[in-house]
A and B are shown apart, each in its own frame.
Chain A
Amino acid sequence: MVLLRLIDDFLASIGRSVLNLCRAVGHLTLFVAVTLSHMVRTPIYPREIGAQMLRIGYYSLPVVGLTTLFTGGALALQIYAGGARFNAEAVVPSIVAIGMVRELGPVLGGLMVAGRVSASIAAEIGTMRVTEQIDALTTLSTNPYKYLVVPRVVAASVTLPMLVLVGDVIGVMGGYLVGVNRLGFSGVAYIQNTVDFLVLDDVVSGLAKAAVFGFIVAVMGCYHGYNSGRGAQGVGQATTNAVVTASILILAANYVLTEVFFSA
């Protein structure tokens, strides 16, 4: 009897978790669908989109720039050390370039922005929910999706590729600085090698990834903020959930997109 009850409880807990997951996925899908539908219908708030581009894009530049600078430098050292095992030290510029542009630029940029922006969006919108500011928007004939969600999603999807492009350049420069100053590469040859090796598709695929990551970052921030629980604890939980889910979704989407772009 006891054993049966234990098995029963165990199965019930699995069932509950699955049901909760399905409910969350359904909820999120609806949220995304409503957001997308509002993107293509007036009114659009250009002033809000501009403000969010400045906040999400411009103010994230130092974080993304520093991240890619150090990563580019470390990558150069690693590839040099690894390449030395089979006398292929000369591949440093090309591998740094391809690694940064295709993979590390978008992923690390996306993750850093997820930490910075998802959290702040979730906290802001969550606080607005808790203090009835979202209800106030509705009573002032302003749709909260249009005024709060759409500008953030558009701004993040547009500015993250720009950030990543800048990050790519800084990352390559990080590799260049280490390559030239520590590893004895010639500056001109390093740049030449990088430019010759990269093709347009490498850059474009990285930027396309960045646009998707930007979308994920903003949607997760808005979704968790919009559905935030009551009080300080609810907002804190929403912030944590936003960062965690955005980071995991970025890594998962990165794998899927890499398969799509490069598996052929």
Chain B
Amino acid sequence: MTPKIALRDIHKAFGSKHVLRGVDLEVARGESLVIIGGSGTGKSVTIKSILGLITPDKGEILIDGAPMGRDRDAFLAQFGMLFQGGALFDSLSVWQNVAFRLIRGRYKMTREAAREVAIEKLRRVGLSPDVADQFPAELSGGMQKRVGLARAIAAEPEIIFFDEPTTGLDPIMSGVINELIREIVVEMGATAMTITHDMTSVRAIADKVAMIHNGKVRWSGPVGQMETSGDPYLTQFITGSAEGPIEAVR
């Protein structure tokens, strides 16, 4: 079966810094892949390459077996993304953020209808309709993450990316967000790709795990096999040990 997302030998360098050195990755339809790895190992670059925010120097990115065509809007319409800091537009109210895609572009709906959808999505992520008219700056970090999540799922995308979804949140809020992500992905039948350092997130969200080290996929496999992989790099990472093959000073 054709994988939903396939990356073949992706290379990317910024100046003399070779970040990706041949990443190969496949994600099946409806699967939830979590990418782990230390800071600066190329996890974000991998996701941004798939979205076309960064153009790889070499390699192929296939969605449903086909590369991105000329119609960039249609291509991007398949994706939703939750950014690390939320990346909410602070000049727009919460509902306008959530409904951003719905009130613009080719498939735009009326503002009233879009507001209804936004409020329904806010409810889905556990926020009351009262926050719809507030501005992002008035919300706490956890609420901003939820709004970001509502925006990512507003247009019912087939593929959702989560960039460090629990960074900066307390453990309980992290747990809530992890649970929400899992529920939403299952409920929508979407294919998900998450970047995280948080091993609790990995266990809560992942079907499959890929570890990137030195610009390559070091290990990938089902989440259940992660603990028994026998790979010293992966073991060091998941146990958080300072001793091991990965240098602690980067």
Contacts and interface: CB of A to CB of B under 8 A. Distances in A.
A132 interface: yes
Interface string A24-57: 0000000000000000000101000000000000
Given A131-B87, A141-B73, A141-B76, A136 B105 contact: no
Interface stretch (B35-43, B59-67, B77-85, B166-174): B77-85
Interface string B78-100: 01110111011110000000001
Contact of A132 (B73, B79, B85): B85
Given A43-B104, A141-B101, A142-B104, A136 B83 contact: yes
Interface in A71-118: none
B51 A132 contact: no
Contacts of B151: 140
A133 interface: yes
B218 interface: no
A40 to B, nearest CB: 18
B51 to A, nearest CB: 6
Nearest to B91: A124
B87 A142 contact: no
Contacts of A128: 89
Nearest to B52: A138
Given A133-B89, A135-B48, A140 B83 contact: no
A133 B92 CA distance: 12
Interface string A129-152: 001110111111110000000000
B53 interface: yes
B100 A142 contact: yes
A140 B151 CA distance: 9
B53 A43 contact: no
Contact of B105 (A133, A139, A142): A142
A139 B73 contact: no
B85 A138 contact: no
Nearest to A51: B91
Interface residues of B, number: 23
B54 to A, nearest CB: 10
A183 B80 CA distance: 69
A163 B81 CA distance: 41
A133 B85 CA distance: 9
A141 B80 CA distance: 10
A189 to B, nearest CB: 51
A139 B51 contact: yes
Interface string A13-32: 00000000000000000000
A144 to B, nearest CB: 11
Contacts of B53: 135, 138-139
A142 B105 CA distance: 8
A138 B104 CA distance: 13
Contacts of B79: 139
B191 to A, nearest CB: 15
B118 to A, nearest CB: 13
Contacts of A45: 104
B217 to A, nearest CB: 23
Most buried by B among A133, A136, A142: A136
B84 A132 contact: yes
B144 to A, nearest CB: 11
A131 B85 contact: yes
Given A131-B87, A133-B89, A139-B81, 8 more contacts: A45-B104, A133-B88, A133-B90, A135-B83, A136-B83, A136-B88, A139-B79, A142-B100
6 contacts: A45-B104, A132-B84, A133-B88, A135-B48, A135-B53, A136-B81
